[in-house]
Amino acid sequence: MGSEPEPTHTSLETLQEALQTERITYVDALNEDIGAVVESADQLAFDYVVGDVSDYGTSSNDHVHFDLIHEGSTIHCVLFGYKRSTIDTTIEDGMQVAVNGSLSYYEDGGNVSVIVEDIVEVGEGTYQRIYEQNRQLLDSDGLLDPDHKQALPDFPERIGIATSATSDARKDAITSIHERYPDVDIIVQNTSVQGDDAMMSIMGAISKLDDDPLVDVIVLTRGGGSDKHLRVFNETPLCRVIHKTDTPVVVGVGHENDRTLADEVADRRVMTPTEVGEIVPEKATLETELETLEDHLNTAYTDTVETTLETMDDRLTRAYNRTAESDLSSFEAALDRAYDTHVRDELTDFENRLEQARTQYDQQRKREQEAAAHRRQRRRLLLILAALGLLVVALLLYILLPP
């Protein structure tokens, strides 16, 4: 691999001739001169510089970086790693400290920093006091009461995001949502998230999203920043607007360790814009759960149907047996009654027929007896007539034949 070509510069003589002035310099030379002035100027010398700690953090090379803020002005401070063990003060954002050190001008970046030699805590930071006062006020008004928080919908269909339309926070929030559930509709309400007009801009964006009946959840988010850049999210007017929305509000501001009053007032806090996606379910997980539920439902349906059929079969069998027994008992009783009725009718008919037969027999016998008596009378009459005849013959013979 060949070496990179040497950069070419227009000579100062050429530039001086072209610009018609000898007072020309390059950036590196200017920064070197500024550094020499800054680091040697007696009027910039100090024993301590006082301000509020903001954006405190430790770099990968174990150096401590933080900003000192006072009345809206900021200067960067660096505490080298080898000096950390000599500092007794525990540094935290919001505390007011006096820093002993020296000014250093970073020529490559054109930045002035304080190289820290010692740190002395001198009190609670101005903004920390304002923060605590605001928090107490919001708490006394009930805005921090967990009972006043709204529940987020389980399956939001449209999410409104209030953030800078050109920020990485917007991209991170949208990406994290759509990675979990691509079908969610997202609308972005552009707003300033730092600067003098940020509070009014954010409140207007939230109100506009709250007026949209199709928005199910409002997300207020921005990326990381210094403490002073996040202070707008501790303003009580903004917190009151968040509290009064009819739509649930989620706040994700800064990094994981950044906390604001807007976080506490919101219905839910997420630590960073990339975690905004946690407010929607994972579609893949839902589909897996749905498949599992479907399997469980099919199994439960089959088991229920089988159990129900078995139960119904048992109940039907018992009911059939009870009905059959009842019907058989009723049929048997009816048959007994019918038999008794039939036998009774048959006996009555038989008795009637027998009575008729007996009557006929008695009549026939009477006729026969009368006929027999008549015959006997005839015989007696005939015998009498015969006897009379014989008597007449005898008399005639007696008369006709004298003795």
Per residue in 305-319, pLDDT (tens digit) is 888 888 888 888 888
User: What's the pLDDT score for residue 351?
Assistant: 81
Query: How many Cβ atoms are within 10 Å of 81's Cβ, its own excluded?
Result: 12
Q: Please determine, for residue 200, whether its predicted confidence score (pLDDT) is greater than 50.
A: yes
CA gap 117, 82 in Å, rounded: 11
Measured in whole angstroms, the distance separating CA 89 from the mean position of its chain's CA atoms is: 48
What is the rounded CA–CA span in Å between residue 6 and residue 195?
43
- Give the residues across from 99 on adjacent strands: 49, 119
Chain-wide mean pLDDT for the chain? 86
| Alpha-carbon distances of 301 from 41, 181, 289, 294, 309, rounded to whole Å | 87, 30, 17, 10, 12
> Please, is 232 exposed, middle or buried when counting C-beta atoms within 10 Å of its C-beta (0-12, 13-18, 19+)?
buried
**Using one digit for the tens of pLDDT, what is the confidence trace for 101-112?**
989 888 888 889
Give per-residue pLDDT as tens, 164-184. Answer: 999 999 999 999 999 999 999
pLDDT of 142 higher than 70: yes
Q: Which percentage of the chain shows pLDDT scores above 70?
A: 96
Nearest CA to 134 out of 270, 267, 263, 257 is that of: 263
pLDDT tens digits, residue range 41-76? 877 888 899 998 888 888 888 899 999 988 878 899
Rounded to a whole number of angstroms, the CA Rg of the chain reads: 62
Task: Answer with the residue of higher pLDDT: 360 or 236.
Answer: 236
The reported pLDDT for the residue numbered 7 is 52
**Which amino acid, one-letter code, is at 275?**
E
Give dist(CA 50, CA 63) in Å, integer: 20
Range 326-340 average pLDDT: 82
Residue 369 CA to residue 375 CA, distance in Å, equals 9
More confident residue, 365 or 4: 365
pLDDT confidence band for 2 (50 / 70 / 90): very low
Mean pLDDT, residues 21-28 taken together: 84
CA neighbours closer than 13 Å in the CB half-sphere of residue 272: 13
Tens of pLDDT, residue by residue over 242-288, are 999 999 999 999 777 778 899 999 999 998 999 999 999 988 888 88
369: which residues sit within 8 A by CB, 6+ positions away? none
pLDDT at 402: 63
Given pLDDT bands bounded at 50, 70 and 90, which one contains residue 145? very high
pLDDT in tens, 107-141: 888 889 999 999 988 877 677 788 889 999 999 99
pLDDT more than 90, % of the chain: 36
- The SS3 call for residue 200 is helix
